[in-house]
Structure 1
Amino acid sequence: MADGHGEDSPYFDGWKAYDLNPYDPLLNPSGIIQMGLAENQVGADLIEEWVEKHQQILSWKEGNNTSFKEIALHQDYHGLADFRKALARFMMEVRGGRAEIEPDGIILTAGATAANEILTFCIANPGEALLVPTPYYPGFDRDLKWRTGVELIPVECNSHTNFQITVPALEKAYQQALNNKKTVKALLITNPSNPLGLTIPPQTLHHILDFATHNSFHVISDEVYAGTVFSSPRFTSILEIVQSSKKYNPCTVHVVYSLSKDLGLPGFRVGAIYSQNHGVITTSRRMSSFSLVSSQTQAFLTCLLNDYGFIKRYLRTLRERLRRRHGEFVKGLKDVGIDVLEGNAGLFCWVNLRKLLGRKESWEGEMELWRVILEDIGLNVSPGCSFHCGQAGWFRVCFGNMSGKELDVALGRIRAFISHFLSGSDAGNTTSSDDVLGVAREGSPLVACLARMLDAEQQAESRA
């Protein structure tokens, strides 16, 4: 009943608002468009086509690779050996074949959420701490802290360094922990980053490993977006760095992965820990008995992942579609004067709306702007404060969880809002968060403009 779950956040509040008023082009054209969910629907049709062509796999009849009886009776929490082999091969594929992954080092979990919590339980005791660079995924406040009793100490990264992790930022956070008499047991990084949509450069990974080695703590690399890198620089896994150098102890480096983002299968609840630390492997396997992946799911995915030709085509097509979708979305934002962090991965953009805060560049101003975007413009985006960003005015905006048509509608709403905002500014008005709120009040020209636009969209859909 305590409030440590982390749900008291605008990140989750936006989801709740969307659930109450979801956008539908015909049934609810004025509803909220979901742009706060990092879900991969860009390649969903490819997976669906594969399933249609391989429906016999779901029959579990004698003569298939796996029989119904074998699936129904299997209960070993190590997981199906064939699936761990297929998953290891897939994990190497998304890493460009530059990192070796042994099936025996894989611990299966019910998603990356469980994987991160299990690793935290293994590495740290209640009251000890993990360093986490900001901005970071809001779910970490739940996954890493809620039941483990472990504390998170932010490593402050900001726009002046393009939000890259720097040694001075690491040193400052570590010293803060020591001053507060906290024992740091690990550094958790997300590569590619959520919410930044950026890969971490190899040189930065070396700095991170050097720092962790010098101070004798572990490194956890959450790499759930490894397959979504759509442009240069290429993705470099921390495993690639560790395996190519004798400087680092591989027993202190652990990777979290899942099929939720790269394959767009969050509902399948398939996650994994990869480690070369015998103690972590043994303990994680024991704890994974509380978060098993069903044998039916494993058997199905074994067939999917073992279709090497399809997997290569899928990843190639996914990256090309993401590159194109990202480009179109960023261009749409820049056309109306909105700055975006130059990203190369993920299902989202890190968007700079600081100029819309005007004189009120504060967390209060950011929340006021977020409410306007959510309630009046009808877009659920996630404010930077929910990601523990150190600067007000940044927002994560997802583009991979919707159709191209829906993205066009979202961009249309943004254009209408910015157009009205700028027209007020051009008229000599001062631009502050109060002005932003003003243009979206009931009966304002913005609301009327949006209403006309929505009516036009609905009529177009009806004619189609």
Structure 2
Amino acid sequence: MEQAGESLLSKIARGDGHGENSPYFEGWKAYEHDPFHPVKNPNGVIQMGLAENQLSCDLVQQWITSNPEASICTAEGVHEFKDIANFQDYHGLPLFRQGVAKLMGRTRGNRVRFDPDRIVMSGGATGAHEVTAFCLADPGEAFLVPTPYYPGFDRDLRWRTGVQLLPVICESTNNFKLTKKALESALEKAKQDNITVKGLLITNPSNPLGTIMDRETLKMVVKFINHHHIHLVSDEIYAATVFTHPGFTSIAEIIEEEDTKMECDRNLIHIVYSLSKDMGFPGFRVGIIYSYNDNVVNCARKMSSFGLVSTQTQHLIAAMLSDDEFVEHFLAESARRLAKRYGIFCRGLAKVGIKCLQSNAGLFLWMDLRPLLKKQTFEEEMALWRVIIHKVKINVSPGSSFHCCEPGWFRNKDVAVASKKPCSPRNLMLSFSSMRIDDFLMSPHSPIPQSPLVKATT
């Protein structure tokens, strides 16, 4: 009966293109089925795999309390209810687009300006990436993506579009820095496999690495895509999470510099942005496509009808982003708190012998657990991950789910989940830090999660 029902569905509905069979999503499910709670379920799974920035929620809450007129659902703002609730223009509220454009410039040190008329809304960065893929490539065509990369890209760009993602192999020997040699090698392999490459997708700052691309690398990338006449999509959703030097450099700045201006075809440059990470608004589903290509802007705006940001959300955010004093304070304080948390986690991990890739942005640590592997294989990596998720009860994500070419790397969230009660035990230490898997499984203490990963508080 079930099979007969499935036969009535589309190929996409029947397939597994969403990627839920990845350990990245399996970790989420383990948490959902057995979530940690300090009182109700102290032995549950602690969520360290979700990219939520909750460190500065209190600042936003304070602003909303002080500015009740910004919401149409308050006595102070309800007089605008009719106009805002009825507004359906998929261009978006002008003040909203102006506010986002201003924020994008501010998070880039005001070294570059963004045109509000090029701001296209989408339902989060997920929707923005899918719309961009629809605009730039046909089914079967491909984007190059440096590894390790965010597992959700396999869903966001591929699932419904039919677009392929081809890994550009980056290695730990140079801290996973993208090189021209790696790009050329990936492009050549695509040609040998008779795959048409339509673009390159980069994430800057990187998820999962927490690193930023320097100017020379970005210039190399622009020259590469211009030479081969392929698109460049720059995912910059972590732009304002840079918490120490060197600062963030946007691809928008690079194409303004004199030595790249003449050789840059701006029609090939597209930026994906969001307020989910920088402002901590993932539930608001505010995704942005900013393209220098007029045709892409026009097409993406039409397609945005399938994933608009609600006008109520636009109205509230427009008011918030127009408050220059608040935005300046928020960005500075958020960076300070991120830096503090990063230091606490790194020091805690170092005490139990775990090293991390040096980084200065994002919400994660890229942990090197290779010394814990009995053999340097992905099978051993998965065995270690099962110990961590099922025994230690912490959801961290194995590097293989990020298409990392080297086993033993794990992504761990360095921003603990906030709640009214502390949701992470203070006395935890990683009891298997100096053991191999077999030793850990034999240890009478192995089921007890004791980890500095969840020790820090704001």
TM-score, with structure 2 as normaliser: 0.91
Equivalent residue for 1:13?
Answer: 26
1:332 is aligned to 2:348: yes
Q: Distance in 2 between matches of 1:308 and 1:90?
A: 9
Consecutive unaligned residues of structure 1, counting only runs of 5 or more, are: 422-430, 458-464
Q: Which one is further off, 56-65 or 34-43?
A: 56-65
SS in 2 for 1:113: helix
The one-letter code matched in structure 1 to 2:265 is N
How far is the alpha carbon of 1:69 from its aligned partner? Answer: 1.3
**Higher helix content, 1 or 2:** 1
**Residue of structure 2 equivalent to 1:347:** 363
For residues 291 and 182 of structure 1, the distance between their equivalents in structure 2, rounded to whole angstroms, comes to: 30
Is residue 271 from structure 1 mapped to residue 284 from structure 2 by the alignment? no
Distance 1:292 1:417, change over 3 A: same
Of the three residues 396, 403, 408, the one matched with 1:381 is: 396
Give me the whole-angstrom Cα distance separating, in 1, the residues matched to 2:410 and 2:226: 34
The one-letter amino acid of 2:266's match is P
Q: Provide the rounded CA distance (Å) in 1 between the counterparts of 2:192 and 2:424.
A: 50
Normalised to the residue count of structure 1, the TM-score between the two structures is 0.90
Displacement, 1:57? Answer: 2.4
Contact 1:218 1:252 survives alignment (8 Å) = yes
Corresponding residue of 2:198: 185
2:131 to 102, 118, 131: 118
Q: Aligned AA for 1:418?
A: S
Alignment of 1:31-180 (within 5 A): 31-59=44-72, 67-180=80-193
1:317 matches 2:321? no
Kept after mapping to 1: 8 A contact 2:31/2:46: yes
Superposed displacement of residue 32, structure 1: 1.0
Conserved 8 A contact 2:38-2:423? no
Deviation at 1:35, TM superposition (A): 0.4
Amino acid at match of 1:437: L
- Aligned partners of 1:204, 1:178: CA distance in 2, in Å? 24
Structure 1 residue 401 displacement after superposition:
4.0
- The alpha carbon displacement at 1:309 in A equals 0.2
Question: What CA distance in whole angstroms lies between the structure 1 residues aligned with 2:28 and 2:254?
Answer: 38
Give the drift of 1:116: 0.5
Deviation at 1:72, TM superposition (A): 1.4
What SS does structure 1 have at the residue aligned with 2:84?
helix
C-alpha contact (below 8 Å) 2:72/2:79 kept by paired residues:
no
Matched residues, percent identical?
Answer: 49
1:294 aligns with 2:307: no
Say whether the 8 Å CA contact 2:204–2:239 is kept in structure 1.
yes
User: CA separation in 2, counterparts of 1:174 and 1:242?
Assistant: 23
Judged with a 3 Å threshold, the aligned counterparts in structure 2 of structure 1 residues 34 and 61 are, in CA distance, closer, same or farther, namely closer
Deviation string 1:235-254 (CA, Å, 9 cap, x unpaired) is 00000001223121221110
Query: What letter corresponds to residue 352 of structure 2 in structure 1?
Result: V
- How many residues in Structure 1 have an aligned counterpart in Structure 2? 435
Corresponding residue of 1:460: none
State the shift of 1:66 in Å. Answer: 7.3
Checking the alignment, whether the CA contact within 8 Å between 2:36 and 2:423 is kept in structure 1 is no
Q: Residue 65 of structure 1: CA displacement?
A: 10
Distance 1:61 1:362 in 2: 57
Q: Which residue of 347, 361, 380 maps to 2:376? A: 361
Q: Which whole-Å CA distance do the structure 2 matches of 1:129 and 1:191 have between them? A: 20
Displacement after TM superposition at 1:276 (Å): 1.6
Alignment of 1:166-245 (within 5 A): 166-245=179-258
What is the CA deviation profile of residues 423-462 of structure 1, one whole-angstrom value per residue up to 9, with x for unaligned ones?
xxxxxxxx4x3334333xxxx2333xx38x79xx9xxxxx
Cα offsets for 1:243-302 (capped at 9, x unmatched): 223121221110000000011100000010001211100100111011111111100111
Give the counterpart letter for 1:132 in structure 2. V
Q: Indicate if the aligned counterparts of 2:285 and 2:309 stay in contact, CA closer than 8 A.
A: yes
Once superposed, what is the RMSD of the aligned Cα atoms? 2.0
Give, as a single letter, the amino acid of the residue that structure 1 aligns with 2:382.
Answer: M
In 2, Cα distance between the equivalents of 1:88 and 1:26?
Answer: 44
Task: Provide the C-alpha distance between the structure 2 equivalents of 1:407 and 1:163, rounded to a whole number of angstroms.
Answer: 33
Structure 1 position 416, deviation (Å): 2.7
Q: Is the 8 A contact 1:377 1:413 kept in 2?
A: no
